[in-house]
Structures are given as structure tokens and as C-alpha cells.
Structure 1
Amino acid sequence: MKIELTQNAIDWFEDEVGLMPGGGVRFLGKVYGKTDIHEGFSVGMDIAQPGDVLAQEKINGITYFIDKNDEWFFSGHDLQVDFDKKADEPIYKFIEQTK
């Protein structure tokens, strides 16, 4: 599994969320909403430090990660994070992993 972020998403996390080198962002499944692969669940994010990591990407000293406890939510998929300037919010896309 891997996490990819567009430059727009990176800029938003650094500028609007105020993340600095040494910080971390955890992506997780949360109740309510909808994704491409889940009904009744959406992607949430939390400012946190990595613990038991399933996947991570370190960019500009900031660690973007998925915890092993959330494997059920992301299983079989990579996560792409973009940013929608018009809606002023991140966009999460699930890309099916190929073997």
C-alpha cells in the first residue's frame, strides 16, 4: 500500500493546517459519509505522530501515514490525496492495487 499526495494537497496541509517538519497526519476511516469503496464511511484525518504504521510518505519533514488499525478500511488500495480549491477540502481517491 502507498500514499500519494499532489502538490496542492501538500500546500494545503502546510499552509492551512499549519503543519511543520516533524509533524504528522494520520488518514483513517470514520463513520458517516461515502467513498469510492465504502458506503457509510469516509476518510478522516488527524494530526498525530506515527505509531504502528501500515503505510507512510514523508514530504518536507511531515509524515503522512495510515495506522495498521485502519487496514480494514484501506485494504487492497493505495490512497491518493488531492485538494479541491473550489470546495476548499481534500479529495481522497482509492486506487486498486494490482498484484
Structure 2
Amino acid sequence: MNIEVTKPAARWFKEQFEGNGNKTIRFFARYGGCGSFQSGFSLGISQEKPEQPLASVSIDDFTFFVEEKDAWYFNQHDLKVKYSRNHDEIEFESIEVNR
């Protein structure tokens, strides 16, 4: 699994989360909401340190990661994190892996 965070999305995270000193962002599976990976679940965001990362990427002093325990949610897809200027929010895209 790979994680891609676009530059506009990285800037959004920096603006939202830089003040408290913790520069690690976890994407995790949560029950409910509308997600593009698994029906009935969606992605959550939290600031916490990695324990057993499945995938991670560092951009502008921030580390974005997914834990191994959430691998089932992604169903062998990559994650692309984008920023929507129209909605002023983060969007997640599922990218099928052809490996």
C-alpha cells in the first residue's frame, strides 16, 4: 500500500495541525460515514504516533500513515489524499493497485 498526499492537502494539514507540536497524522477506518473503500465505513484522521505502520509518507515535516490493523479497510488499494478548494476540505481517493 502507498499513500500519496498532494501539496495542497499537505498545506491544509499544516495549517490545521501544526500548532500543537505533534506532526504525525494517522488515517484510520471508522464505522459510519461515506467512504470509497468499504461500505459502511469511512476514513478518520487523528494526530498520534505510529505503532505498527503499514504505509507512511513524509511531507513538509509531517508524517502521514496507516496502521497495519487498518489494512483490511483499504482492500489492497493505495490512498490518495487531496484538498478540495470548492469544499474547503480533505478528500480521499481509492487507487486500485495493479501488482
Structure 1 outlier segments of 4+, above 4 Å: 19-22
Root-mean-square deviation (CA), in Å?
Answer: 1.7
- The number of aligned residues is 99
Point out the more displaced range, 70-79 or 28-37.
28-37
1:17 counterpart SS class: helix
TM-score (norm 2): 0.90
8 Å CA contact 2:36, 2:42 repeated in 1: no
Q: Which stretches in structure 2 are left out of the alignment for 5+ residues?
A: none
1:29/1:44 contact within 8 Å kept = yes
| 2:30 aligned partner | 30
> Shift of residue 76 of structure 1?
0.7
Percentage of matched positions with identical amino acids: 31
Between structures 1 and 2, the one with greater strand share: 1
Alpha-carbon spacing, 1:54–1:98, altered in 2? closer, same or farther (3 Å): same
TM-score by length of 1: 0.90
Unpaired stretches in structure 1, ≥5 consecutive residues:
none
SS in 2 for 1:33: coil
Structure richer in helix, relative to its length: 2
